[in-house]
Structure 1
Amino acid sequence: MRIEATKLGKRFHREWIFRGLNHTFHPGTATAVLGPNGSGKSTLLNTLSGQILPTEGSLVYSFQGQPVAVEDVPRRLAYCAPYLELIEELTLSELLHFHTRFKPLRPGITPAQLIERMYLEKSRHKLVRDFSSGMKQRLKLGLALYADSPLLLLDEPTTNLDRAGVAWYQEHVQATVAGRLVIVSSNVPEEYAFCQHQISVTDFGAQAAR
């Protein structure tokens, strides 16, 4: 997946969140979007994902040299963020069965194998609402990292994870990023240490937009 942003800006009411972003995100690369809390990192990721429209500028998507319409981006996207909800009325096994009908896993990975990789074998028949916050975050990460999607967006991926959970994330993100376009929104170095590129929201964010 390739994303080309030209003079990209997003405003809510009269306040610019970011403005003037010119950047091309190339397939097979990982980019960290950096900035303090409240600087607009999540808004930028939501804009790049096509979930919200930019106020100005343009986004051009392509995959293997062919253009991708913005309405088709979700099919090629895996997204993990603390504010994204899980279907908590389902058990883990039921959730994976439902989720993978719409977002298949990477070739060679079955739902049962994913449960093992997330270290959730003992919770396969447990309702997701009864998971701890750390278990829910590991589940969100597992669904995103092991989705068969060329675009991977991670927003503050180690939220609610303890030290063992952070180590799990670092191991599995390294194992699943090859060949994908990966964008990580973060201000925690251990979340984006694997990224080859960095851009700072403060360079084109609210302060720069004034």
Structure 2
Amino acid sequence: MKRNEGERKSSWKQDPEGVKADILAVATSVFAESGFSGARIDEIIRRTKSSKRMIYYYFGDKSGLYAKVLEAAYARLRKGEGQLDLQALPPLDALAKLAAFTFDFHRENPEYIRLITIENIHHGKHLKQSETIPKLNSQIITGLEELCRRGIGEGTFREDVDPLELHWTISAFCVFNISNRATFSHLYGDDLFTDAGQERLRARLVSMVLDAVRAS
């Protein structure tokens, strides 16, 4: 049931962080469904406990809201990676855990993939305007650099392993699995997108990545 303006004002004053979180959650769905150009602020308002005034107060404008949605999407992924405690594992085990987590995260968060696809359509316009996103995403490269140093140091990784290429490889596999599911399954069937098929692909990714870095 749609809240009236008085209820919205009360909610805004009593729980501003909750209101912002509600706006971001709904905006994520709307932008993922309709893209940046097709999304309407009025639709976000209709689905939330907020008002146009609140959205503009907290996020500035539609572009500002979209940038915060992107930041929140990247932050969820980076937070999940940070909770893996990879430093406590041998390098090969740590890399296997990271690859498997990345596959699962992308599979469980298709909205994240749609948002990234939309941002690529816009040539990274909103991403370039964010100071937060580059800092967030430097974390994964820093972590992989440390992981590669450990692996090379103990002799389990090849000496020419490149952390950025490693991140690209894992991301490419996981993004394609979701972004191209509709067309791929239409052309070739759904076998790879059943639970069993996804488990096989997950294991294939881990095996492929480990084979690529393992010292001979």
Q: Which structure shows the bigger proportion of residues in helix conformation? A: 2
Q: Which structure shows the bigger proportion of residues in strand conformation? A: 1
Which of these two proteins has the greater Rg computed from alpha carbons? 2
TM-score bucket of the superposed structures, by smaller chain? under 0.3
Tell me the TM-score normalized by structure 1: 0.26
